[in-house]
Amino acid sequence: MTAGIAVQQGVSLRKRMPLRHFRQLHGPDARFLFHQLPQPFGEDRTDRELLAVGLGATLYVPATRPELAETIRRCAARGVCSMVIDLEDAVADHEVELAKKLAVAALAELLDTQDANPLLFIRVRDASTVVEIIEQAGAGAAVLTGFVFPKFDSDSGPRYLEALEIASARVERPLYGMPVLESAALVHRQSRDRELTAIAEMLAQHRDRILAVRIGATDMCSIFGIRRDRDLTIYDVRVVADVVADIVNYLGRADGSGFVITGPVWEYFADHERMFRPLLRTAPFAESDAVPFRQYLVSRDLDGLLREITLDRANGMQGKTVIHPSHVNAVHALSVVTHEEYTDAQDILRGDVGGVAASGYRNKMNEMRPHRSWAMQTLLRAKVFGVANKGVSFVDLLTALVTL
């Protein structure tokens, strides 16, 4: 890359408005909802850990989408902070070359955007496309955060990672990879441990280039001829839930060897005839005088999404792959740190002397050493998603976002 292009890229990045979650909330609404507002992030592309937590709901869009750059701008204005331009499953085989050209053209258009662009990635079909895109994009590569590597395994992984290193050298700044774990070798019980061991060793060697590990649950289901119903979460599909648990076990450890792992995609976004009762309790909505809003969520199948997001977090994952803009607010509302979580995390990190103390909310015990990793992760999440005011729930946050 020439020095002129490098300078042009740097100027373009500096001129933009900073990226921040919930920037669509202003004035009284923000002051009512937040004890601590979300902080800007993304300007320092070397802060890998903060970028990974800040991904939130990562929205996929086909590269062949009409007016692609304008779609990305519009999503950013609605609060999307990370997006993937998809050259793989969302694009028909005969349109791949066209899709590459459209993706490169969109990067060039977004170069002149004054408002904040989302963290932007391209999902490629193969490793050779990584360098191809960078070479064709020229100055437009400045708006690219990295690439998504589908069907990443011990065979394809080395090629993807080598291409990423070459691409990063070309643009003279960090480019990040997000491998998607979804291959049959990983899913099959007989080969899973071998695959995960190889993948863990491979990713450790390229730690500075790996932003997050994504889970491809749809491809995993297809190996067994399964398509989960919208009344179920991925954790109800036992053969896939077992794979997810093993991925977190190998790659999500909090001892410094792990990575941010994002939750799998939720496929549904339209109403349907239900077999089971809705998964949302009425009480939280009654307390916020939002019972009609609960019915809206149920009618859009968002009650299942909310439950799955909660289970993602309980199982060690942050953020989520989404394929519809209506899912973004749900992911982000449940990513805000509650006032209770924030208070507990601060108390736990106040010293490193061990021991046990009652929570400031007088409803649980905080164990200073076992809960320390949780507290550190919670305060990092608080930086990018903010801290809710005391008494403010995800219902209040979601209602404010949906009614904008």
Residue 154 CB-half CA count within 13 A: 15
Written as six digits, the tokens of 356 are: 């046990």
| pLDDT (0 to 100) of residue 112 | 87
pLDDT in tens, 137-174: 999 999 999 999 999 999 999 999 999 999 999 999 99
Q: What is the pTM of this model?
A: 0.90
Distance between CA atoms of 270 and 327, rounded to whole angstroms? 11
21, 57, 186, 197 from 240: Cα distances, Å:
31, 21, 11, 19
Listed residue (236, 197, 241) closest to 217, CA to CA: 241
Worst-scoring range by mean pLDDT, 30-34, 43-47, 198-202? 43-47
Distance between CA atoms of 303 and 133, rounded to whole angstroms? 39
For the chain, the domains span 33-40+335-404, 41-331
- Kindly tell me the sign of the dihedral angle through the C-alpha atoms of 268, 273, 278, 280: positive
pLDDT in tens, 317-357: 999 999 999 899 999 999 999 999 999 999 999 877 778 98
The average confidence (pLDDT) of the chain is: 89
pLDDT in tens, 373-394: 999 999 999 999 999 999 998 8
CATH for 41-331, among 2.30.30.90, 3.30.70.60, 3.20.20.60, 3.40.190.10?
A: 3.20.20.60
Burial label for 199, CB within 10 Å (0-12, 13-18, 19+), is buried
Indicate if the pLDDT at residue 4 is higher than 80. Answer: no
Distance between CA atoms of 288 and 291, rounded to whole angstroms? 8
| pLDDT (0 to 100) of residue 159 | 98
Burial label for 56, CB within 10 Å (0-12, 13-18, 19+), is buried
| pLDDT (0 to 100) of residue 292 | 53
Distance of CA 373 to the CA centre of its chain: 20
- On whether the CB atoms of residues 117 and 110 are closer than 8 A, the answer is yes
| pLDDT (0 to 100) of residue 296 | 55
Distance of CA 302 to the CA centre of its chain: 18
Token look-up 């403010």 returns 392
SS3 79: coil
Burial label for 345, CB within 10 Å (0-12, 13-18, 19+), is buried
Q: Which long-range contacts (CB under 8 A, 24 or more apart) does 343-348 make?
A: 344/371, 344/375, 344/378, 345/374, 345/375, 345/376, 345/378, 345/379, 345/382, 346/375, 346/379, 348/372, 348/374, 348/375
| pLDDT (0 to 100) of residue 7 | 36
Average the pLDDT over 71-93 and give the result.
96
pLDDT in tens, 243-290: 999 999 999 999 999 999 999 999 887 655 544 445 555 656 555 555
pLDDT > 90 fraction of the chain, expressed in percent and rounded = 73
The phi and psi torsions of 179 (rounded to 5 degrees) equal -70, 140
The phi and psi torsions of 134 (rounded to 5 degrees) equal -60, -45
